[in-house]
Amino acid sequence: MMPTVKNRRRAGRAAGAALVYALCALAGAGPLRAETKPNQDQVPSFGYATSLSGNYLAGRLAGSLKDIESAASYFREALSSDPGNQVLIERAFPLLLADGRIREALPLATRIVNRDKGNQLARMTLGVDALKRGQFDRARSQFSQMATRPLTDLTAAILTGWTFTAQGDVDQALKTVDRLSGPEWYGVFKNFHSGLMAELGNRKAESVKRLAAAYKADPNALRVTDAQARSLVRQGKMIEAAGVLDSFEKVIPDHPLVAELREEITAGRQPGLLISNAQSGAAELLYGLGAAIGQEGGEEMAAVYLQLALYLEPKTELPLVTLASLQGRLKQYDKAIEILERVTPASRIRPMVDIQIGRYYNLLSKFDEARKHLEASLARNPKDVDATMALGDVLRGNKKFAEAAEVYSKAIELIGPPQKSDWSLFYFRGICYERTKQWPKAEADFNKALELNPNEANVLNYLGYSWIDMGLNLDKGLDLVRQAVELKPDDGYIVDSLGWAYYRLGRYEDAVRELERAVLLRPEDPVINDHLGDAYWQVGRQLEATFQWRHSVDLKPEPEDLARVQKKLREGLREQPAPASAQNEGASKSQ
């Protein structure tokens, strides 16, 4: 087996985890999953169909593919052909909201509540619109008619509290929130927002008490941390405020918004209120709920809440970042880029946004745009380690290994004495050295990565497999791969490494056992299916081997792999490979 096959698969699945996590922390959402391929499930853009049924079916297809923008447009077009169709109205309405087309959705909301008076989403939308217009009595009327459900009750109560706050009636605002009872998770939202209401109404004691309770319940939430630190500064408790920020940065280091707040405090300036008016407070609630819903997989409803937050406060950045991350999870990378470009160049978070834009370009297979964008970001911020690492990742992902190694070396220079979290820089540079046939440098980097983080499965897997593949340190190499499998027993790629290691050692029955499990974990991977075919052949199961090779071809392997598998289909495995120890006995002894 050519080592390029092993290396390509082992290297291609790691993403800039630190950056992605930081972006998600900005948004209050869970970490994004790393993607390695552009979205191939986009709805083709052929324009609208000429019939109602055509647009309806196109909308259904777009919805099933999580393409909110296309689904909204197709259903809106279908509705124009049959304006009274209630099914089309009720599907077009949330899609238009999720796509940010609030003004188009408002007339549909009115039509929906005429038929379904308690419709939560329509009432909330009409209430938010009234709040935006300063029609607070009308907003409360809409919120009060939302049908009772846990999420609805929380939303209606706190939005109602913000309408009273807008009118200066903070007592009634706090009573409205305090009357709300429900699940335990209500507590953070209730204390956080009632604390902000009290703060805006100059109720210092109430504000201090409620914000402190929210912070105690969730000290790792960005906005709660921000509000608590500001509250402590206003109390003159500078040391305590710094401690709050220190605690947060232990979980999420180098956060730009936290750094900005710390700079204000250090300079002796009193930071302003987190929320400056009631409309911003209502937007904050919608943003917080949208971010929370998005963590649970409800992307469309999360987008609705985030778009309503932006409708109230179009220039707020965190809803934009969260919304973009949702689009990224849905593989709508073009849309995610479009949203992120709305973050102003002067924003403190813009450097991180630019990094993510570069990564999205790469996921769209637009390598030149990705590289150009990241290089421009580095020209503005030459000491930005995250941007440097992102550029290295893009170069590595596009097989520019020599250039990537140079970029990773720059990142390593920038970090100073490496910490545990820096293991990935050495791992990725090691991959690049290995791919450019500089094994001593690669081995040193892999060992450094393990020195920093001894239980990192990807590094254990890569180093152990490489040793076995070259006939070096065979027992130790097998031990490392086994450790990797113990750490990640459900990772099909790592299980495949163990199976292929057994194969290289001539332990074919063991190889079959592990490779069968790897195929169950990753049935779509052509290389793993190819490996299993080879193992079947060596134990005399030629018919099954041929089946696996054919399946590997059907899964569209890389061109160089395809030619090799097709040759096996024509000729079989003509010779048994010698065990790795026999292939490189001298090298093994020298180690």
Which pLDDT belongs to residue 47?
Answer: 54
Which pLDDT belongs to residue 137?
Answer: 97
Which pLDDT belongs to residue 123?
Answer: 98
CATH of domain 491-591: 1.25.40.10
> SS3 letters for 177-198?
HHHCCCCCCHHHHHHHHHHHHH
3-class state of residue 481 by DSSP: helix
Which pLDDT belongs to residue 578?
Answer: 53
Q: Which residues contact 509 (CB under 8 A, 6 or more apart)?
A: 539
Which pLDDT belongs to residue 48?
Answer: 57
CA atoms within 13 A on the CB side of 227: 34
CB atoms near residue 83 (< 10 Å): 9
Which pLDDT belongs to residue 103?
Answer: 97
| Burial of residue 296, with CB atoms counted within 10 A of its CB: 0-12 exposed, 13-18 middle, 19 or more buried | exposed
Q: Are 155 and 163 in contact (CB under 8 A)?
A: no
Which pLDDT belongs to residue 49?
Answer: 54
Which pLDDT belongs to residue 268?
Answer: 87
Give per-10-residue mean pLDDT for the chain (591 aa).
35 35 36 34 48 88 89 92 92 96 97 95 98 98 94 96 97 97 94 98 96 96 96 95 95 90 91 95 97 85 97 94 94 95 94 96 96 96 95 96 98 95 96 97 98 96 93 92 96 95 94 97 96 96 97 94 94 70 34 27
